Amino acid sequence: MGRGDKKSRRGKISNGSFGVRRPRKIKKRPRVEDKIAVSKKK
């Protein structure tokens, strides 16, 4: 279990891959309402 191991975190980093042990960083997407700037009717 080390750098060559494809299932370990260290192995994923050295291999440059992602998976359960090393998930991708999730980018926060702007909401559609924020993008359009919807005005609420009263």
Instruction: For 11-41, write each residue's pLDDT tens digit.
Output: 898 899 998 888 898 888 777 776 676 666 6
Identify the pLDDT of residue 37.
66
Identify the pLDDT of residue 5.
87
Rg of the chain over Cα atoms, rounded to whole angstroms, equals: 20
Of 1, 39, 41, 42, nearest in space to 21 by CA: 1
Identify the pLDDT of residue 25.
87
Of 4, 28, 27, nearest in space to 17 by CA: 4
The answer, as to whether pTM is greater than 0.85, is: no
CA distance 32 to 39: 13
